[in-house]
Structure 1
Amino acid sequence: MKGFLEGFRKGFQEFGHNITLIINSTLLTPVYFLGVGLTSVIARLFGKKFLEKDIKKKGSYWSDLNLKKKKMEDHYRQF
């Protein structure tokens, strides 16, 4: 009886693992293509570049963030 229950439990674990793989693959694949693909198409239409790939001979590849010191009052209630 104990061997039967262990085999039953192992079978259910394998079944659950297989179902998880199938469900995750079928759900996440369309979400990926819709989310990432659609974002990529819209970004290309509007000319947005998320990553600078231009390789030019520069002294530095640092991009200036234009961070300036703020007044102390600006740090309160930021949201």
Structure 2
Amino acid sequence: MRHIQLGDIEKHFWLARSVARRMGVSLTEAMADGRLSHQAYAEIVTRCRAADCSEGCVLWLAEQQHEMTPEPPCCAIADALRQLR
């Protein structure tokens, strides 16, 4: 069984929220209106933590000027965020 090193939970919590917001998704609103469960939110953050692309996401976020942009090229949570949009 392969052990996956997970990234810092706080860093990836904020990265996931920031990428979602740039894609036009509010994870808070999705939870409030029942489209996103606590478990699914935790899974999104965990997938983000398991991906090895946080530096790319940080750079991508720094380059974004508008909401509703396509996700970063290596985004591990893009499918889930597109479904919430």
Same fold by TM (over 0.5)?
no
Q: When the two structures are superposed, what TM-score results if normalisation uses the length of structure 1?
A: 0.22
Give the number of the structure whose alpha-carbon radius of gyration is greater: 1
Larger RCO, structure (CA 8 Å, separation 6 or more): 2
